[in-house]
Amino acid sequence: MTFTELRSSLRGQRRNATATRMVTIATISLALVATFTIDAFPTASNIRGLCLSVSLIGIIAVGLSFITIAGQVFSLSIPALVALCTIAFASTNYLGATASALLTVALGAAVGAIQGVVIGRFEADPIIVTIASAAILVGLGQLWTNGQSVLGTGDNSVLNMNVFGVLPFQTAVFVALTLALLWLMRRTVFGRQLTLFGLSERASLLSGYRRTMIITAAFVISGATTGLAGALLAAQSNQGQLMSGASFGFDAIVAVVVGGVAITGGIGTPLGAAIGAVFAGLLNNVAALAGLSYEMQLVTEGALILVVVLMSGLLKAKSAR
């Protein structure tokens, strides 16, 4: 890595830390305002629903952050993969919820591996590959279900229990997964290789890093976490359908961007993506309780992304002076 690239990396990490702090403060502030101004917000049922929705988006987002940090932008096949994974879980949960969840995670990882090999080995555009993958996955889902919902026949109670009597299982998984992936990113050779690759592919290749391995690993992680979210989503209703998780892809991208992960690669952490998921989920929840329509919620999320991108650009320009 050249001196210029190293200096750019240090500046980027400082911007990421600033963005993470800002989002954390904004999340806490929004929660406090909602608590004292919206009667329905601090209720047990709303908090539980918020935890469930944030957890599923967060599980996807922390995995997706690896793709973005690796410089491969985003995966646009997430909604289709979530849907296929809900179908896979519902179709196999007669084997037991745990076994079915593991199979579903393996399915997501396999899809990610195929995408990663195509992108890494053949230098294909990640956007085009994931769009094509989405079409294939939707088609496979249609063939699998004939366009109908699939009802599970097994008992999913183990995936819907409360940890310590109060914390939804999905939320516990989200927290544990975030910490595990943060450790992987910061404390392992692979994490350092991934970050350097996203920051400067040329420098990483000159250092002997393998392009295909790094990209494939990033997509496998993202695919596995998407499969896990699909399994947990299907376990809630004990069914799988092609419309499941239709908004998950956009919500996960919002979480990653808001969480300070640079779409150019090399900057960001899974923790930032997790905090971004909490903020985005909280914002949607407050907007819904305040009476905003779904369309206005989409407008709000889109505007939020633009604001974050503009602020990131301003911080980058300021640090470059």
Q: Using one digit for the tens of pLDDT, what is the confidence trace for 60-97?
A: 999 999 999 999 999 999 999 999 999 999 999 999 99
pLDDT (0 to 100) of residue 315:
65
**How do 150-151 and 239-240 pair as beta strands?**
antiparallel
Say if CB 218 and CB 70 are below 8 A apart.
yes
Tell me the average pLDDT across 28-38.
Answer: 94
Question: Can you read off the two tokens belonging to residue 29?
Answer: 């502030």
Query: At 167, is the secondary structure helix, strand, or coil?
Result: strand
Query: At 194, is the secondary structure helix, strand, or coil?
Result: helix
Other CB atoms within 10 Å distance of the CB of residue 277: 29
Burial of 192 (0-12, 13-18, 19+ CB in 10 A): middle
Say if CB 239 and CB 46 are below 8 A apart.
no
Cα distance between residue 67 and residue 214, in whole Å = 10
pLDDT (0 to 100) of residue 293:
86
Prediction pTM value:
0.93
Cα distance between residue 173 and residue 258, in whole Å = 22
Tell me the average pLDDT across 47-64.
Answer: 96
With bands split at pLDDT 50, 70 and 90, how would you rate the model's confidence at 176?
Answer: very high
Task: Say yes or no to pLDDT of 236 above 50.
Answer: yes
Give per-residue pLDDT as tens, 124-166: 999 999 999 999 999 999 999 998 999 999 999 999 999 888 8
Which of 114-123, 164-173, 289-298 is predicted most confidently?
114-123
Cα distance between residue 259 and residue 284, in whole Å = 16
Tokens 């250092």 belong to residue: 207
Percentages helix, strand, coil for the chain, rounded to the nearest 5? 75, 0, 20
pLDDT (0 to 100) of residue 3:
42
Q: Where are the beta strands (DSSP E) in the chain?
A: 150-151, 162-163, 167-168, 239-240
Task: Say yes or no to pLDDT of 103 above 50.
Answer: yes
Give per-residue pLDDT as tens, 258-271: 998 988 899 999 99
Say if CB 20 and CB 271 are below 8 A apart.
yes
Sorted by where each starts, the structural domains of the chain and their CATH numbers stand as 14-26+47-319 (1.10.3470)
